[in-house]
Amino acid sequence: MMFENSGKLTRFMLKRERVMSALWLVCLVAFSAALAPAMYGMFDDFGRQAFAMTMENPAMIVMMGPVIGADNFTTGAMYSTTMLIWVLITIAIMNIFLIARHTRADEEKGRAEVVRSLPVGRLSILNAAMTTAFVVNAALAVLTGLAITAMRVPSMGFGGSMLYGAALGVTGLFFAAVTALFCQLSSSSRGAVSLSGLALAVFYIMRAAGDLGNETLSLLSPLGLVQRARIYAESHWWPVLVVLLAAVVITAVAYLLNRARDLGEGYIPARAGRREAKPSLLSPTGFALRLLRNSIIAWFIAMFLLGASYGSILGDIEEFVAGNEFYAMIIGVTGDFTVAQMFSAMVNSMAALTCVVPLLGCVLKLRTEEREGRAEHILTRSVSRVKYLAGFAVPAIAASALFQLTTAFGLYLSAFAVLDEPIPLAFLLEANLVYLPALWVMLGAAILLIGILPRASGIVWAYFAFSFFTEFMGRILPLPGWLLRLSPFGFIPQLPADTVRYGVLLMLTGVAAVLTAVGFVFYRRRDVAQ
């Protein structure tokens, strides 16, 4: 039978997912529920309508989609307009990795071959992975709907909240199906994830282009189609059902392809490698750069677009802030500086925190190489431990400056087009580069954990989450100063309102250097198999 023992495999996969998927669910549900009352207290009726006018800016439509319920911009309509697209993208990424690691990745590691040697059907592994995705996304949909309802926010009732949760769930299933399809086409896990990520980017671009005037493009994108549910306004269920039907069709195609292909193979043949390796691969740094190259380039583009997207709304930000005291408080508006300058300071802070994600990814790639057994093959040769670790650390340190410069240029070029008096480039460069010591401390913490507690190196993500919370919520809540300074970002001046204290920046740089040095020393001494 094609699906023999799928149930047992599903239970096994759910057991493997009990930590990873549980963390995703807790974070997504808690975030969705906590933000609902926060948005309700953020604006009054006049402020929400002013915000709706700001959202009708073409740049904002490209980023988030069409404004929902603009004539009566309730808290629910504002929540759906501003949050839905970003949560959908996050859930898509979650499902892409979920399916890839239980199908194509297991084939690469030989696990699937062991399972297939047992009395299981030809389609059992893929079926179990899709069933696991269904359970995870169904739980996400129900828990999110109930959690938001429990917040008792006006205009965010049970029906709209359950529709919101259902929209999240079916979008996750759609991208799980897309990933299952690409796992049949690609011959590697990395290729399947890359193609799935590319599909997500294409769907986002289709949605963005369609929202500016071509409705058909938006309807062809699952992201744009789900937004047509107009949650907390008209609340249509038909877009959710259409996306669910599309997920079922794509899943069926993936099953057909999986039934016909050989284990470990893909319908798209792997590209033949070079006859001879490049000379750069003979050094640890060149090898690490080859592994990190695509990621760094992708984030380079992403950071430029991030700066440009925020710069595009600087022309309207002063009018919006003038009608909303709460938002003025978040930005930190004072009479000494323009609203655009203070808003750019907040953007710089958020962009610097965003940079932490790819930078930590660069350093922690070393741990991936160790877990997969590839680092051992390199270190058995005449390769220094210090040089090997430096091969991942040095590109990350260099990328930190590159990302900050890129964000500043994106913000400047976009602001130059919309402001009568553009913000000076020198100011933006200084305001972004001042975050480098904090970024280096985060990298130093990761390197220290890799050297001392390699198996617990993921703890650095918890520290990043704490830093993000204190930096973001510190603008809204009166958090104590000592709590803010547990994060390196708590020491960074918010230009132009604050004064640069070079002694503090040098201190942070010194802390980063010490953490990094200690990490190198212990990495040189520890067992690679740890």
Concatenated DSSP letters for 496-529?
A: TTSPP-HHHHHHHHHHHHHHHHHHHHHHHHS-TT
**The one-letter amino acid at 295:** S
Nearest to 454 by CA among 389, 395, 396, 523: 523
Please give the torsion angle defined by the CA atoms of residues 194, 364, 283 and 289, in that order, rounded to the nearest 10 degrees: 40
Q: Nearest 5 degrees, angle CA 196-CA 200-CA 205?
A: 145
Query: Which residue, 114, 112, 133, is CA-closest to 180?
Result: 133
Q: Is residue 80 part of a domain?
A: yes
Q: Using the Cα atoms of residue 306, residue 308, residue 310 and residue 312 in order, give the sign of their dihedral.
A: negative
Which CB contacts under 8 angstroms, 24+ apart, belong to 212-218? 212/58, 212/61, 212/62
Is the model more confident about 242 or about 466?
A: 242
In a domain, 272, yes or no: no
pLDDT bucket at 271, cuts 50 / 70 / 90: confident
Please confirm whether the linkage preceding 496 is cis (ω < 30° from 0). yes
Residue 78, domain member (yes or no): yes
Asked if residue 141 is part of any domain, the answer here is: yes
In a domain, 394, yes or no: yes
Q: What is the mean pLDDT of residues 312-334?
A: 62
Of the chain, the percentage scoring pLDDT greater than 70 comes to: 90
Model pLDDT, residue 330: 59
Same domain, 24 and 99: yes
Over the stretch 51-82, which tens digit does the pLDDT of each residue have? Answer: 777 677 666 677 778 888 877 888 888 888 88
Q: pLDDT (tens digit, 9 = 90+) per residue, 461-520?
A: 888 888 877 776 665 555 677 777 888 888 888 777 778 888 989 999 999 999 999 999
118 and 172 fall within a common domain = yes
Q: 265 lies in a domain? A: no
- Same domain, yes or no, for 227 and 286? no
Asked whether residue 437 falls in the same domain as residue 402, the answer is yes
* 192 and 160 together in one domain: yes
- Please tell me the predicted confidence (pLDDT) of residue 320: 60
Shared-domain flag, residues 115 and 50:
yes
| Residues 360-377 pLDDT 10s | 988 988 888 888 778 787
Asked whether 28 and 136 are in contact (CB, 8 A), the reply is: no
Asked if 265 contacts 187 with a C-beta cutoff of 8 angstroms, the reply is yes
* Structural domain includes residue 273: no
pLDDT(165) > 90:
yes
Encoded tokens for 39: 């948005």
Question: Averaged over 196-207, what is the pLDDT?
Answer: 87
Give 271's contacts (C-beta < 8 A, 6+ positions apart): none
Residues 73 and 193 in one domain: yes
Last residue of a domain, one of 200, 228, 260: 260
Q: Are residues 317 and 242 in the same domain?
A: no
- Cα–Cα distances (Å) from 270 to 264, 266, 273, in that order, read 11, 8, 9
Residues 233 and 315 in one domain: no
User: 22-26, 248-252, 313-317, 403-407: lowest mean pLDDT where?
Assistant: 313-317
Give the per-residue pLDDT at 283.
80
Residue 509: the pLDDT is: 93
Same domain, 152 and 53: yes
Among 260, 292, 322, the domain-final residue is 260
Show which of 260, 291, 311 is a domain's final residue.
260
pLDDT beyond 90 at 245: yes
Tell me what pLDDT residue 261 has: 83
Round the average pLDDT of the chain to a whole number and report it: 84
Rounded Cα gap, residues 478 and 498, in angstroms? 18
Whether residue 159 lies inside any domain: the answer is yes
> In this structure, are residues 196 and 175 in contact, taking their beta carbons and an 8 Å threshold?
yes
Count of other CB atoms within 10 angstroms of residue 458: 13
441 and 493 inside one domain: yes
When divided into structural domains, the chain yields a total of 2
Domain span at 433: 279-525
- pLDDT of 516 reads 94
**In this structure, are 196 and 240 located in the same domain?**
yes
Most confident option among 235-249, 325-339, 515-529: 235-249
pLDDT of residue 79: 87
